[in-house]
Amino acid sequence: MNAPHDALDSSHDTVELALGGMTCATCAGRIEKQLNKLPGVEAVVNLAAERAHVRYLPGEVDVGRLIATVVKTGFTADVSTIDTRADEKAKKLAIYRDELRRFWIAAALTLPLVAQMAFMFGAGGHDDVIPRWLQLLLATPVQFWIGWRFYVGGFNAIRGGAGNMDVLVALGTSMAWAYSFVVTLWNLHHQHVYFEASATVITLVLLGKILEARAKAKTSAAIEALAKLQPQTARIERDGQLVDVPVATLIPGDVFIVRAGEAMPVDGEVIEGASSASESMLTGESLPVPKAPSDKVFAATINGDGLLRCRATGVGSHTLLAGIIRLVEQAQGSKAPVQRLADRVAAIFVPVVVAIALLTFVAWWALAGDFTQALVNAVAVLVIACPCALGLATPTAIMVGTGQGARAGVLIRNAVALELAEKLKVLVVDKTGTLTEGRPAVTDVVKVGAGDTATLMQLAASLEQGSTHPLAAAIVARAKVDGLALAAPQNVATTAGRGLQGEVEGRRVLVGSVSWSKEQGWFSPASDALAQAGRSVVAVVADDVLLGFIGIADPLRTTSRAAVARLNRLGIEVVMLTGDNADTARAIAHEAGIGHFEAEVLPGDKAAAVQNLKRDGTLVGMAGDGINDAPALAAADVSFAMAAGSDVAMQAADITLMRDDLNGVADAISLSRATLAKIRQNLFFAFIYNVLGIPLAALGMLNPVIAGAAMAMSSVSVVSNSLLLRNWKPDKD
């Protein structure tokens, strides 16, 4: 079943918190644990994005208490919105610059100690090149000023009842520094000192954190690029004059002007002018979309070569662009099931590593009788261990993957859907609006017996005015084109999946499917020819007399056949469900290249059909419009809404396709497989690194400095591997 959707739970509110002070997966886990202890709270913390997505029950807790809980745990938290994005980025940049400055100071103090190591290795001994008192002066600021962050982080972690990377670094470097300090203070020349190890480890870990921060910033580059596309000013009509005002000041109803080549400032409706707009940043579709009066325009899309006068309909956080950004950030903050193993390991990681380090120290001292070697090996165990790589393996890949999806017009609501999409074996598709254009038109009017086609159309269209069904709209539109005068229907009753009945100008009229008319006793073979030609057939009955049939065609999308073939190549069977008759369904399925279809399926029965396909454990996806097919979408393991610009569809589906093209489903599955492949690679690297590194350190085969460098680079390598997902592109074939 689908993961629960926030939007469908009206009793809960949601808030996004920007977090500060996290250094590894255990930090994220501790914040998450403390938030989830609060009544009515469900929180997910994303280490890579440094955010917490929190659902909470108003009345039980408020945002202030959520923030206070994070602060009490030893971290910082602020409410994060689209409007605060710039401030958050500026704050992170300031912290990054401060960290960079500290690193250069640490590097300058550590460099002489590292150079001394080279001389010592060249001489084949451990004779001091730099006087020990000078080594102490160089290493101490690095240990206690530059490295103070590790002590603070470690203290907060222990106070919160858990350990983290800071505990390991602080313990390991403090042991090396303290031992060296005692040897120097007591003037024990026959003992080695390890000031270079403590200082170098801190400097290298700091370098790793800086490189990691730079790499993590790139994981959200796709969303930042979308946000930057919206212009900062808009040209509006005010008191008969055109004035430039900040976009943030616009309100619904304001009239704005967009010149050729400019970006739309907000969502709106064209009231004057004709042009086209490039909506590729929303849909991934490169072809421009024509714009004329009454058409919708969307913030950040680019106007073509015409001048448009528009009325604002969505501003600020209510634009489609803002909704996309919120949806993607929510997905980036969610957890995939594959992450659970890493979370379980991270929760016990630090205590286990400390225990291994202690065992290493005791074993080496007891068996080798060498206190110094025992200490060095224990320090190496502490600094080689890295829970960060485990914590970053999944969220960084999800962030890059969902960002790439957004750029291609594929909006993934949660990480669960992203993981399940790669395992789909069957895709159920609706016919109308999914395989077809969704714009049906009347092609044939066939009368049966006496009467004329004009009367048939006038009665049918009059009754269909009470329906929102696409076929009803086609009948009404044709009647208006023919200039028929429509009457107001009375006592209209709808039978789901069947049709309508009611009164038109005193006559009892029934308009609906051929199968329904057959059940009522009205049938003519004249409908068969229409059905075999691929038409959707509507029967029209008045005063218990069959007047005739209306044939309606909804042309297959030009991309549908290629998309079905592409899905088949991905190993996915496409199944079409439709309420149409068998002949029409067979014709459309044959044209689309679909071998398995079910016809005359009522809306309420589509969910049962999906459940039936899932009976043997097969994972089933469903593609529909996100509204009419809601029961079937909910029954599917992964639901795809093909409804560009539909807020309802975005809230209803696991994955929203911003362009009405079945190729988007194939894109989503391709992206899912690429993302999960990266996650598995990352988890393998993270686990194998620790599985090999810790035993090597315990066996005395790793110098603490080398261990520190390896630990610092492990997280960077995982994030960098995730960034390779930016090379993923939708298949254009």
Residues labelled as active-site residues: 430
Number of Cβ atoms within 10 Å of the Cβ of 225: 13
Least Cα distance to 381 among 359, 401, 366 occurs for 359
Sheet with 241-246, edge to edge strand ranges: 241-246, 233-238, 255-258, 308-314, 267-272, 296-297
Tokens, residue 239 = 């008191």
Closest of 610, 622, 536 to residue 580, by C-alpha: 536
Radius of gyration of the chain (CA): 33
The DSSP call for residue 168 is H
Neighbour order of strands in the sheet with 289-291: 289-291, 275-278, 302-303
Q: What are phi and psi of 582, to 5 degrees?
A: -65, -40
Helix, strand or coil for residue 27? helix
Tokens of 420: 């399940």
* Helix 165-185 / helix 339-368 crossing angle, nearest 10 deg: 20
Q: For residue 544, how many other CB atoms are within 10 A of its CB? A: 10
CA–CA distances in Å: residue 654 to residues 233, 282, 321, 699: 34, 17, 18, 49
Q: Which helix (H) or strand (E) holds 278?
A: strand 275-278
Task: List the 596-598 sheet strands across, edge first.
Answer: 410-412, 655-657, 638-642, 620-624, 426-430, 573-577, 596-598
CA angle 134, 136, 138 (to 5 degrees): 70
Neighbouring C-beta atoms of residue 66, cutoff 10 Å: 22
From CA 198, how far away is CA 542, in angstroms rounded? 93
